Each structure stands twice: as structure tokens, then as C-alpha cells.
Amino acid sequence: MYIIYAIVIFLIIIITIWHKPCVCVGQQKNINSLTRQMLRWYIASTQDNEVIIKNLHSNYAMGYLSALRNIATDDEIYQSTGLDVQKISKAIAAQQDASLIKFAQECPDLIPDDDVYRDYIKKFLPEIT
């Protein structure tokens, strides 16, 4: 009798460990749609010549990535699209930072000296100040 219980418990543990949740069809369509939009804006931001438009497009890409991460985990996104979310997140953030730095260098008067976040800007984006 105890052998049967042990086998059942063992099978439950094995199934729990090896079971990967699947992404349902509706969820997969949403993931694919948001991923496509995120990548469109990211690619547009890499091709823009105007700094403010480059920043705007990279912000849109980050917004779509944020929405995507709100509806699915990184693993679900990877399972559905094959996209490494950490890598694309870093790429978009780097694009945002680069465009912000260039924008601040071209238009230094637009960053006020009395800004509440000035110390944080100096710490995290010293290229601007």
C-alpha cells in the first residue's frame, strides 16, 4: 500500500517539475501583436536621424515592452516568440539613453538647473551634465 502512495507522489513530483505551462492561442496573439509593435518602434528608433524622434520612438518601444510584460512573463514571451526579453529590454534602454544624452547635448537649455531630479541625472547619466 505504501509503495502505491510513494509511486503516486513520485509521479506528481515528476509531472510538476517537467510540466511547462503553455500559452493559449488568444494570449499568443496578444504577445505576438505587442512584440511586433515593440520591434517596429525599436527599429524605427535605430533608423531615425532626428534626436527627439529617435527618443520618442524608443519610448514607444519601451512602452510596448512594458505592456507585453504586464500580460505575460519573460518565459511565456520567449516560448511564444523566441525573443530574449532581457536583451531587447537592454537594447531599448540603451537606445533611450543614447538619444537622451544626444538630445541633452544638442539642447542643454532644456534641462533646468533647479530640476528636482538633477542629482539623479548627474549620477546615472553624467554625459548630460
Task: Look at residue 115 in the predicted model and tell me its pLDDT.
Answer: 67
Helices 74-81 and 51-71: crossing angle in degrees, nearest 10, is 100
71, 113 Cβ separation under 8 angstroms: no
62, 93 Cβ separation under 8 angstroms: yes
Q: Measured between alpha carbons, how far is residue 118 from residues 124, 126, 128 in Å? A: 10, 10, 10
**79 found inside a domain:** yes
72, 31 Cβ separation under 8 angstroms: yes
Task: Look at residue 86 in the predicted model and tell me its pLDDT.
Answer: 95
**13 found inside a domain:** no
**47 found inside a domain:** yes
**35 found inside a domain:** yes
Task: Look at residue 128 in the predicted model and tell me its pLDDT.
Answer: 63
**80 found inside a domain:** yes
> pTM higher than 0.95, yes or no?
no
For the chain, how many structural domains are there in total? 1
Range of the domain at 37: 25-124
Tens-binned pLDDT, residue by residue, of the chain (129 aa): 677 767 777 777 777 666 555 567 778 899 999 999 999 999 999 999 998 899 999 999 999 999 999 999 999 999 999 999 999 999 999 999 888 888 878 877 776 666 677 677 767 767 665
**5 found inside a domain:** no
**44 found inside a domain:** yes
**71 found inside a domain:** yes
Task: Look at residue 45 in the predicted model and tell me its pLDDT.
Answer: 93
Task: Look at residue 18 in the predicted model and tell me its pLDDT.
Answer: 62
